[in-house]
């Protein structure tokens, strides 16, 4: 794979000077077109140590309008990043539509280095690469132009560059023991990198392997690859038909898991108060143990309007130290959130180790309200099931405890609660015209929920269906489930 990047290609000063002007003009034009589009650009610059990755990025920054570019030079993760799933540090740095993010150090760096030094096996390495392919496919479908550049030099060239830098009093600081350590693993690094690039060079995110022996040739080729990639993506997007967004009003089957629930379950007030106190005391202890053991808990609450999500959440938070817990209410996305891939706004709220995050509504909005109301395309909500499963799998693999609750009530009970809210002054803020509009689509929301359970209730993240007609019963069942899932902390 890398032989074609060891041909000794060079560019003279004269040829370089003649090519730079038109290239810069083209890049600025493409960057302006990007800024006016619904496309973001992510540029990955990887390769062999000593190939001049930082120099090539500096040259790009010189040729582009720096106001529209974000540079992310990533090395070892920070403490904050280590306390979250691997991809968190990259998700939070994804550029908004119209902007460009250039990454020196990317989601490829750690798996390649870990495999090179034998810290992970071949199976885990290829699972990481599979996850990367899924992630990059999602970026492509979300309107991100992904440009992947690999700068290559031979082993002999790497050795000569390191020695030349060491001899220069002004540059020797740039050579570290780590560089020589990588030189000693050059052959292994090359083999592992070749596997990674072959596995992840796809139609939507191909790798561009560039020879970096000659700096002028390297810089021109990097600029040319970026320009052609931007032009190709912007042309493709401009020719695409406008997205069709329309409500999806499916009918649920007469027999289904929601209608099979026994909504008549009740807990009398006298028994409720006693049980509530006991279960909250247990949760208080377990949430403290969660913090001490540096395990994180994510709770998701979904269900019809007025199903009692807020009340159930308050009975949980009353038992927790809120210095270590966050309650996130999800509403319509902001302009900033709409400018990023859909899951971006949820990744950014993931808790650190030992913390709790409670989502009142969640990433399931895409396959529920957005599907029913036509806020996204059919293709977007249909692919969201797999994207959500992948997201939740990452949470589970990192060790996050994820519990997903669906609070179920009948249409009749919802109507009663709506009327009660209208008639109670301090509850009137809870009822809006949108709630009444959503109620008119009860069947469509039920059908969407059933599809959601079928496609996203997995062994690592099952749905917990809660009979919510009686609030006392619902609140105790939620507490019971959280305590059950945290029971391993009693040891």
Domain boundary among 220, 239, 258: 239
Is residue 255 in some structural domain? Answer: no
In a domain, 205, yes or no: yes
234 and 283 part of one domain = no
Confidence (pLDDT) at 174: 87
Instruction: Report how far residue 266's alpha carbon sits from residue 250's, in angstroms, rounded to the nearest whole number.
Output: 32
Same domain, 54 and 150: yes
Q: What is the CATH number for 366?
A: 3.40.50.300
Q: Determine phi and psi for 153, rounding to 5 degrees.
A: -135, 160
Q: Quick one: which of 339, 343, 348 has its CA closest to 383?
A: 343
Taking alpha carbons only, the member of 394, 376, 452, 457 closest to residue 135 is 394
pLDDT for 54: 95
The per-residue pLDDT for range 440-449, each reduced to its tens digit, is 999 999 999 9
Domain limit, last residue, from 219, 239, 259: 239
Min mean pLDDT across 108-122, 161-175, 209-223, 304-318 is at 161-175
Q: Answer with the one of 197, 217, 239 that is the final residue of a domain.
A: 239
Position 313 scores a pLDDT of 99
Residue 469 has pLDDT above 90, yes or no: yes
The predicted-structure confidence for 281-302, as pLDDT tens digits, reads as follows 999 999 999 999 999 999 999 9
Contact 165, 175 (CB under 8 A): yes
**pLDDT, averaged across the chain:** 96
For the ranges 330-339, 350-359, 424-433, the lowest mean pLDDT is seen at 424-433
Residues 209 and 291 placed together within one structural domain of the fold:
no
| Predicted pLDDT at 312 | 98
Residues 231 and 279 in one domain: no
CA distance 143 to 325: 34
- What is the pLDDT at residue 222? 99
Task: Answer yes or no: do 151 and 280 share one domain.
Answer: no
| Tokens representing residue 81 in the block | 């990043």
Q: Which tokens go with 29?
A: 């034009």
Note whether 90 and 154 are same-domain residues. Answer: yes
In a domain, 389, yes or no: yes
The pLDDT of residue 1 is above 90:
no
Q: Are residues 184 and 68 in the same domain?
A: yes
Asked, for residue 246, whether it belongs to a domain, the answer is no
- Asked whether residue 478 is domain-assigned, the answer is yes
**DSSP string computed for 43-93:** EEEEESTTS-HHHHHHHHHHHS-GGGEEEEE--SPPHHHHTS-TTHHHHTT
257 within a domain of the structure (yes/no):
no
Taking the CA atoms of 75, 81, 84 and 89 in sequence, report the sign of the dihedral they define. Answer: negative
Per-residue pLDDT band at 237 (split at 50, 70, 90): very high
- Give yes or no: residues 232 and 303 share one domain: no
- Identify which of 466, 461, 460 has the alpha carbon closest to the alpha carbon of residue 481: 466
- Whether residue 134 sits in one domain with residue 16: yes
How is residue 342 written in tokens?
Answer: 């859909």
Question: Is residue 247 included in any domain, yes or no?
Answer: no
Strands (E), 165-249: 207-211
Contacts of residue 197, defined as CB under 8 A and 6 or more positions apart, other chains included, come to 1, 150, 207, 209
Please write the tens of the pLDDT for every residue from 359-399. Answer: 999 999 999 999 999 999 999 999 999 999 999 999 999 99
Sign of CA dihedral 421, 422, 426, 427: positive
Domains in the chain: how many in total?
Answer: 2
Helix %, strand %, coil % for the chain, to 5? 55, 10, 30
Domain that holds residue 32: 3-239
HEC per residue, 329-371: ECCCCCHHHHCCCCCHHHHCCCCCCCCEEEEECCHHHHHCHHH
Q: 76 CB contacts (<8 Å, ≥6 apart)? A: none
What number of other Cβ atoms are within 10 A of residue 459's Cβ? 6
**CB–CB of 174/49 below 8 Å?**
no
Place of tokens 């945290």: 486
Percent of the chain whose pLDDT exceeds 70: 100
The structure tokens listed for 146 are: 């992904």
pLDDT of 245 strictly over 80: yes
Tens digits of residue pLDDT in 65-103: 999 999 999 989 999 999 999 999 999 999 999 999 999
491: confidence class by pLDDT, cuts 50, 70, 90: confident
- Cβ-based neighbour number of residue 159 at 10 Å: 15
């Amino acid at each position: 794979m890398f032989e074609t990047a060891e041909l000794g290609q060079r560019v003279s000063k004269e040829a370089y000077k003649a090519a730079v002007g038109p290239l810069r003009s083209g890049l600025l034009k493409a960057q302006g077109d990007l800024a006016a589009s619904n496309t973001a650009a992510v540029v990955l610059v990887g390769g062999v140590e000593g190939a001049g990755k930082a120099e090539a990025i500096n040259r790009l920054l010189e040729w582009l309008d720096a106001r529209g570019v974000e540079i992310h030079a990533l090395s070892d993760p920070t403490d904050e990043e280590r306390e979250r799933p691997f991809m968190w540090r990259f998700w939070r740095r994804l550029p908004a539509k119209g902007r460009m993010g250039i990454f020196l150090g990317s989601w490829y760096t750690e798996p390649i280095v870990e495999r090179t030094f034998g810290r992970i096996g071949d199976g885990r390495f290829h699972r990481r690469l599979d996850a990367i392919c899924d992630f990059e496919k999602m970026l492509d479908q979300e309107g991100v132009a992904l440009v992947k550049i690999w700068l290559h030099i031979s082993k002999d060239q790497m050795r000569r560059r390191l020695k030349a830098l060491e001899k220069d009093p002004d540059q020797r600081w740039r050579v570290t023991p780590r560089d020589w350590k990588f030189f000693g693993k050059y052959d292994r690094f090359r083999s592992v990198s070749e596997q990674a690039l072959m596995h992840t060079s796809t139609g939507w995110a191909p790798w561009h392997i560039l020879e970096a022996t000659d700096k002028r040739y390297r810089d021109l080729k990097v600029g040319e690859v970026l320009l052609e990639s931007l032009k190709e993506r912007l042309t493709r997007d401009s020719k695409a038909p406008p997205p069709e967004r329309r409500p999806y009003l499916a009918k649920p089957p007469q027999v289904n898991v929601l209608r099979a629930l026994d909504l008549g379950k009740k807990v009398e007030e006298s028994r409720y108060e006693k049980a509530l106190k006991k279960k909250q005391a247990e949760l208080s202890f377990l949430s403290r143990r969660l913090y001490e053991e540096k395990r994180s808990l994510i709770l998701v609450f979904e269900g019809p309007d007025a199903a009692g999500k807020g009340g159930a959440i308050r009975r949980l938070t009353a038992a927790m130290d809120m210095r270590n817990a966050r309650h996130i209410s999800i509403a319509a996305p902001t302009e900033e959130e709409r400018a990023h891939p859909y899951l971006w706004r949820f990744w950014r709220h993931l808790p650190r180790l030992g913390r709790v995050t409670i989502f009142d509504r969640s990433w399931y909005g895409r396959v529920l309200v957005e599907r029913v109301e036509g806020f996204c395309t059919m293709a977007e909500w249909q692919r969201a099931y797999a994207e959500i499963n992948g997201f939740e799998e990452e949470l589970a693999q990192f060790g996050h405890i994820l519990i997903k609750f669906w609070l179920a009530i009948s249409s009749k009970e919802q109507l009663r609660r709506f009327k009660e809210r209208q008639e109670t002054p301090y509850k009137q803020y809870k009822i809006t015209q949108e709630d009444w509009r959503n109620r008119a689509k009860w069947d469509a929301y039920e059908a969407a929920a059933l599809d959601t359970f079928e496609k996203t209730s997995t062994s690592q993240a099952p749905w917990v269906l809660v009979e919510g007609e009686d609030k006392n019963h619902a609140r105790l069942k939620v507490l019971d489930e959280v305590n059950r899932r945290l029971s391993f902390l009693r040891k």
